[in-house]
Structure 1
């Protein structure tokens, strides 16, 4: 039985039972009510309205119902009702009025004052208990409904009830135009971190008040979650940045927070058949599209965003199949020691080569995969491919380098991430330090306690942990003091900005000094110029990567680089554990005289590693074995073997050995010397000769070959378009010599991408560049290896196809390419086309004349119908 508690000064009451407050001046009546209620409820008592207010002040949150007598001294029941209904803290507590009067007007008056029920005296126990139970249940049900309907903090509608209300409003007012308007605060977590959660809550409440004032009776408002608000509003005006900027200023002033930046999104409801949830998603998508853009306060959902949404959906639809079909691959970007510019490792980057869309930009699909969770599967694919490459290279005897791989936020919060990575390296027989883990800086701000624990476990297993994109967020300095990391990797934009500052100033020097103090190594990415490299060298950066040294390349190309380098441990260098220097070059001495081979070994000792061969077969085997590492071959023309000059003949056939210097030796003989030089030998030295002469001639031959190789590489780069990998204008002009020789003429095509400027303006230059790259890939797919494909400049491409049968065939091929681009390359942009002109080449005409004629045909096609092609005719 619940105890009866009489309220006296200083008493305290605690119970887990529901509590009823009896307000009655008659002690006998109070006793009767207490006797009726106490088996079911805890009971509090007060003799009049004023005393009851004191009880409410002390126990208001615990009271489920009030039984109130109307006629009392000091403060009667009506005055008490008016007092509690005016106080929002107590207004929701239900009141049953009790009185001896059976006057209907008293009952009506009590109910009008806010009473929930009316009971006449004398009291009937079953009636009292039944009505008290009913009223308490009604109140609890109403509270549950309110909890469903309203956000606890702001009092706005909850997300679910907002959806219901919007659906009813749209159905009831089909003639009225409405907008969905949403808002999101940039870096709201930063506000909570800097000003505290109470300040953040006050800001949210001010935003809720603003929504309520602005919307009024013309719509409904809701707080979806955290700092996301949304409303349905009658469409009455055109929106401007100034309107939303003024709202931001007002909210900052009212909340005393001066740096809150809100982004607004608007979806004008033009299709009422789509779900309300999707309408709100479109408004939030518009707001998200301008995050990080200074001075941009709102965005409206439009066709551009719709295309982006469709594009995201298209990517989502094919991502699983793309992974299963091997469309993803890893590219490796070398890391170099800044001290001596030697190879020190690599970073694994994922690339997606779609069979129809071509090479996809990681900036497009990686953020989407991070949002939808697919990034965890993709990351695991990269981890396995990186380990497989390391295992393969170890088996081939290449330098045991390390590879850095990305670990996303989604990966970190997997329960089995530590076990998964440990099993991955174990599966390939690798030590954990060979796989460096790059964790992006933004991951360090979400649930840092779990992150610290997970990263600590990984380091205990031997993994090297790098903080990626350091300098791109706001909490790095706080986190690096807590995080168990080995390497700071500086954000690319941070590098580009800071390396331009004076040597004695800038944050970059402070970061390097801080890393030194914390015994962390520093990797700088995005190094593109010699000036940046020297600036980083001067302030003590450890490692660098970027286009100045090398672009990311497929594993096969990176392997070719490994063939030219060897490992030299330098443990003091830091967690990258060492650097690679140019591989020890091999000098092959192929001579039948052992004494001569010994003399050569002594002459070149310290300069090269010496390999020896006593006959032609052994020499050819060594040349194959040391491919890519041969500095030179000192070759005796009298070396035993089948036929005349078998080694020289073999080297003459194999193009891959043409850049290896050959120093031919034989007894002095003019015809033999002439033959050797004609067959590709770089030098001839008659025997006997001094070792100094051999040394000088060999050094000269090696330098000459190196110079020629560099010249060839520079010439190749000078002829290549940086964006598409096709020939550029200079490369085109060099490649078209002698095209019109033979029985069948060549056809020259000039393609122009229509409305590229519009694509750049609408979707950004990255999207425009992607279209240019994809068109280049399409041209390669529709041409033969013997054809010439070039980017002539901007959005113009030239293709020269050999052995074209005639005008009809030339035009048919041109139309096929235009149609393929229109239908497949950029299918999500229905208006993107290419226009083309074609001309059959004539031997008497220069390439400029041919391009001029193709341009005239192109111009006529554009004036006729864009997206078509025409053949040049006089």
Structure 2
């Protein structure tokens, strides 16, 4: 039920007030005042909430005319209608009341039906006028709204067929940047002030409206004297406004010749002219002409053909090879779309991609590219080629799709791929448009296992604070940025700073657009990770890229959760028996490499510079002594932060020299294995990079064969579960008859089953699920925030079904059986595993290869 409207009765006579209140109270909420001053007090309390005022003229303290003058001069109250009530019904009194701003005039004594009808009519008229006003005028600027501007232009053109007109539209360069830096309120004030300036400049000579955020339009009578000087003058007046900060405005002019063109298109064409000079210094206006018309016709032809082109397979996915800079080996690819039109030939993406981004077709095209890229990966895997990732573009339009994560996840699962095989490129400029939305979406995709790349880094204006918030794994340096930076002297560019920043943020860096040997060497010098560009290979069709895979060999990037490459520990000592002691002491944590001479130690350092965790270095190495190797380590940018522990006889001078050259520790010989381990790990704990500290911790918690958590890691992960992770599903899987497989086909085949089942679990679960090899042939999966028992059982059944494809070596009957427990309350995970174990054995009793839900 709608709330009653409020009417204010201003009357000094108590009897008259009571009469009016009695008439009106059946339809309205009535407020009463005995004079004008009391009435002003009520207006201050209720403001525009008052729908109508009935006002007596002759009153003490403040009469009706004085009250009317004050109300109509007040911007908050001026629109409230006023009915004047008086004993006199003379024409002079009525004119006097109306001239002071009254809406209507009624004489006493009051007639109930007349009062009610007039009140209802006037209130309705006011509301209708307010709605019309709201439709006609833009609330922020007071100019005509877009729709009403279009209507007024149509009326003007129809009513004045003999006159010639121009549509002039303006656009502010990088207005969003103004909002980002100075805040939305400051941006709104600027737009309000620009609109006021337009009203002053145009006056009665034209019609002005606001089309969009920072876009204004005017209809003016035709003129032929447009010049940069004219618009420079207007631009100067804009920048003289209080809220302006070096505003750059562009104007576009459309000459109205064909009045059959919709007004909306006229404005679009004027804006197209304005956009055509964006970024051009010294250009302030442009006119829509045949060249722009040709561009518009070309864009329309592209739009008319795009759907059929996709259906007919005219779009093709090319692959831009990506190389690891350290050894120039193939490490991945970027998927790029090309359009092979049967009549137009091969079209440049620069022509159709921006158009598709504007009209929304880019979402369909992107999904096509994602699907084709995954099909390539599946084909290469089936052919036994190395597993590499492919980077695909995720456009701004994709980000705002509510089901983007489900679509991408469904695409990789369709081809049986881990999400990390698909790297998702999001442009730097996209992060600046709606950072919170992008951060939320990219964060969710990253949690699912996708690798997130910031594309075109260096082409926009991301702040360091925003960069620190972004959930990204890779920075891709913009081609133009690379070309300009590598042309500068080493000490004048900022590439090294960016590399140091990326290292601090633990990001990989890919440089795009590498075209010369000099650019490559500069990037190699600052330890950039990957490069792509014409210096190596142009983008090629998938068949040609497959040939590169077969011919050149690859370096596959590490996938999250996959078996990790162990960090390398160099034992450089002239004594073979001592090196054996070192190996036994540290082989549970590191991959041990050995060197018996200083020269061999230097070679090992160079060969393992990207994975070297620590160096144990004898001060008395023959050939080139240990101190020479120590100096080389501390001099090389690639390994200078690697901790070096020097060993030698008890000698104060040797110890002092080692520490002066940068050694982290000097260990006297002889010593015990326990003492050596403690001193080395202590030195690494204070000096090793965070990467290696994390790696050591990770190794201690991982099953080396599968890359999943071991029981220690599982216990730690399960202990971190919280109430927000509920409901939980704990799934216990057992590889049936693994012992029989080992006995019949050998442990190599059994190990294959274990490793492939670990990979299967990663492919069929989410990034935030906990995966563990709990025992020899037992695996545990903890799934967070599972919707229902049915969903948990369905997922368990899916894993058991998929396991049959890998659990059949040479005709063996082995399979996977699962037990699941669903929990909605915080309980010890050990108890949940015990219940899942009971469900597992019930499943085995019913027949191996099934999945059973624990029901109590």
Equivalent residue number for residue 396 of structure 2: 409
* Equivalent position of 2:477 in the other structure: 490
Per the TM alignment, residue 575 of structure 1 is displaced from its structure 2 partner at its CA by 11
Q: Distance in 2 between matches of 1:43 and 1:541?
A: 77
Aligned position for 1:426:
413
Tell me, in whole angstroms, the C-alpha distance in 2 between the residues paired with 1:274 and 1:54.
Answer: 55
- Structure 2: distance between partners of 1:511 and 1:17: 64
Contact 1:348 1:405 in 2 (8 A): yes
Q: Distance in 1 between matches of 2:464 and 2:158?
A: 53
| 2:166 is the counterpart of 1:179 | yes
After superposition, residues 673-752 of structure 1 pair within 5 angstroms as none
2:466 paired residue number: 479
Question: Is residue 344–residue 576 contact of structure 1 (8 Å, CA) maintained in 2?
Answer: no
> Residues 332 and 390 of structure 2 are in contact (CA less than 8 Å); yes or no, is this contact kept in structure 1?
yes
Cα 1:507–1:22, aligned 2, differ >3 Å: closer, same or farther? farther
d(CA) in 2 for partners of 1:54, 1:142: 26
Pick the structure with greater CA Rg: 1
Work out the CA distance in 2 between the residues paired with 1:218 and 1:407. Answer: 47
Residues 208, 577 of structure 1: alpha-carbon distance in 2 compared, 3 angstrom cutoff: farther
- Cα distance in 1 for partners of 2:479, 2:463 equals 15
Instruction: Sort the Cα spacing of 1:476 and 1:577 in 2 relative to 1 into closer, same or farther, 3 A.
Output: farther
Aligned positions of 1:158-197 closer than 5 A = 158-197=145-184
1:556-588 Cα offsets, whole Å, 9 max, x none, are 21122112133456749999999xxxxxxxxxx
Q: Are the aligned partners of 1:182 and 1:231 in contact in 2 as well (CA < 8 Å)? A: yes
Query: 1:83 offset after TM fit, Å?
Result: 2.2
CA–CA distance in structure 2, aligned partners of residues 163 and 122 of structure 1: 50
Aligned to 1:114: 101
**Which residue in the other structure is 1:148 paired with?**
135
Structure 1 residue 155 displacement after superposition: 1.2
* Maintained 8 Å contact 1:49/1:77: yes
Q: Per the alignment, do residues 301 and 16 of structure 1 end up closer, same or farther by CA in structure 2, a change over 3 Å counting?
A: same
1:474-502 CA distance string (max 9 Å, x none): 23533322221100111111111222233
Whether contact under 8 Å (1:570, 1:577) holds in the other structure is no
Aligned equivalents of 2:470 and 2:54: distance in 1? 60
Give the alignment partner of residue 513 of structure 1, picking from 500, 503, 515: 500
State which drifts further: 403-412 or 474-483. 474-483
Q: Distance in 2 between matches of 1:385 and 1:575?
A: 24
How far does the alpha carbon of each residue in 1:279-314 deviate from its partner, in whole angstroms, 9 at most, with x for none? Answer: 111111111212222222111111011000000000
Matching residue of 1:248: 235
Aligned mates of 1:273, 1:326 — CA distance in 2:
38
Shift, 1:160, TM fit:
1.3
* Closer/same/farther in 2, CA of residues 56 and 506 from structure 1, 3 Å limit: farther
Aligned partner of 2:449 in structure 1 is 462
Counterpart of 1:291? 278
Residue of structure 2 aligned with 1:332, choices 309, 319, 326: 319
* Structure-2 change in CA distance of 1:428 and 1:227 (3 Å): same
1:376-402, CA deviations, whole angstroms, 9 ceiling, x for partnerless residues? Answer: 111111112111212222222222211
Map 1:410-809; keep pairs closer than 5 Å. 410-568=397-555, 571=558
After superposition, what is the alpha-carbon deviation per residue over 1:489-542, rounded to whole angstroms, capped at 9, x for unaligned? 111111112222332343322222111111111111011122222222222221
SS at match of 2:553: strand
Distance in 2, matches of 1:146 and 1:157, equals 10
Which residue is 2:262 aligned to? 275
Q: Paired residue for 2:695? A: none
Instruction: Report the number of matched residues.
Output: 565
1:393 to 380, 384, 391: 380
User: Contact conserved, 2:331 with 2:554, CA < 8 A, in 1?
Assistant: no
Cα distance change, pair 421–576 in 1 and its aligned pair in 2 (3 A): farther
Work out the CA distance in 2 between the residues paired with 1:522 and 1:430.
Answer: 24
CA deviations over 1:846-867 (Å, ceiling 9, x no partner)? xxxxxxxxxxxxxxxxxxxxxx
More deviation in 42-51 or 391-400? 42-51
Task: Report the secondary structure of 1:217's partner residue.
Answer: helix
Among candidates 59, 62, 87, match of residue 75 of structure 1: 62
Name which of structure 1's ranges 560-569 and 539-548 shifts more when overlaid on structure 2. 560-569
For residues 214-229 of structure 1, what are the structure 2 equivalents within 5 Å? Answer: 214-229=201-216
* Alignment partners' CA distance in 1, 2:36 and 2:61: 7
Q: Which residue of 2 is the match for residue 766 of structure 1?
A: none
In the alignment, is the contact (CA less than 8 A) between 1:331 and 1:348 conserved in 2?
yes
1:46 Cα shift?
2.5
Q: Mean Cα displacement is larger for which, 36-45 or 373-382?
A: 36-45
Deviates most, 533-542 or 142-151: 533-542
Within the candidate set 40, 47, 51, 1:64 is matched to 51
Secondary structure in structure 2 of the residue aligned to 1:564: helix
Q: Structure 2 length normalisation: TM-score? A: 0.64
| Residue 342 of structure 2 is aligned to residue 355 of structure 1 | yes
Report SS of the residue matched to 1:335: strand
CA distance in 2, matches of 1:50, 1:249: 48
Mapped partners of 1:330, 1:61: distance in 2:
62
| 485-494 vs 310-319, greater mean Cα deviation | 485-494
Residue 116 of structure 1 deviates from its aligned partner by 1.0
1:820-831 equivalences under 5 Å are: none
8 Å CA contact retained: 1:441, 1:476: no
Preserved CA contact (<8 Å) 2:474 2:508: yes
Deviations 1:311-338 (A, max 9, x none): 0000000111111111111111111112
Give structure 1 stretches of 5+ with no counterpart: 2-14, 579-874
What is the deviation of 1:186? 1.6
Q: What SS is found at the alignment partner of 1:397?
A: coil
The correspondence for 1:201, drawn from 188, 192, 202, is 188
Report the equivalent of 1:380.
Answer: 367
Match of 2:197 in 1: 210
The answer to whether 1:123 aligns with 2:110 is yes
Aligned residues of 1:521 and 1:574 also touching (Cα < 8 A): no
Check 1:570–1:266 CA distance in 2 against 1; reply closer, same or farther (3 A cut). Answer: closer
Query: 1:577 and 1:240 mapped to 2: Cα distance?
Result: 66
Change (3 A) 1:455 1:514: same
Mapped to 1, the partners of 2:515 and 2:14 lie a distance apart of 91
Output the CA distance in 2 between the equivalents of 1:455 and 1:174. 55
Question: What is the 5 A alignment of 1:318-329?
Answer: 318-329=305-316
Find the counterpart in structure 1 of residue 23 from structure 2.
36
Q: Is the 8 A contact 2:324 2:529 kept in 1?
A: yes
Q: Can you list the C-alpha shifts for 1:646-676, whole angstroms capped at 9, x where unaligned?
A: xxxxxxxxxxxxxxxxxxxxxxxxxxxxxxx
Q: Are residues 205 and 570 of structure 1, via their aligned partners in 2, closer, same or farther at CA, if it must alter by over 3 Å?
A: closer
Q: Match of 2:80?
A: 93
Q: 1:569 to 1:563 in 2, by over 3 A?
A: closer
1:11-48 alpha-carbon deviations (Å, 9 max, x no partner): xxxx9531112222223222222222223222223232
CA RMSD of aligned residues (A): 2.2
For the 8 Å contact 2:167–2:254, the answer to whether it is kept is yes
How many Å separate the matches in 2 of 1:344 and 1:68? 85
**Does the 8 Å contact 2:9/2:30 carry over to 1?**
yes
When residues 570 and 423 of structure 1 are mapped into structure 2, their CA distance, relative to the original with a 3 A threshold, is closer
Indicate if the aligned counterparts of 2:323 and 2:532 stay in contact, CA closer than 8 A. yes
Q: How has the CA–CA distance of structure 1 residues 82 and 570 changed in structure 2, closer, same or farther, with 3 Å as cutoff?
A: closer
Structure 2 residue runs of 5 or longer lacking an equivalent are 566-856
Residues 556, 66 of structure 1: CA spacing in aligned structure 2 closer, same or farther, 3 A cutoff? same
Whole-angstrom distance in 1 between the partners of 2:5 and 2:562: 64
Hey, what's the Cα distance between the residues in 2 that align with 1:347 and 1:490? 14
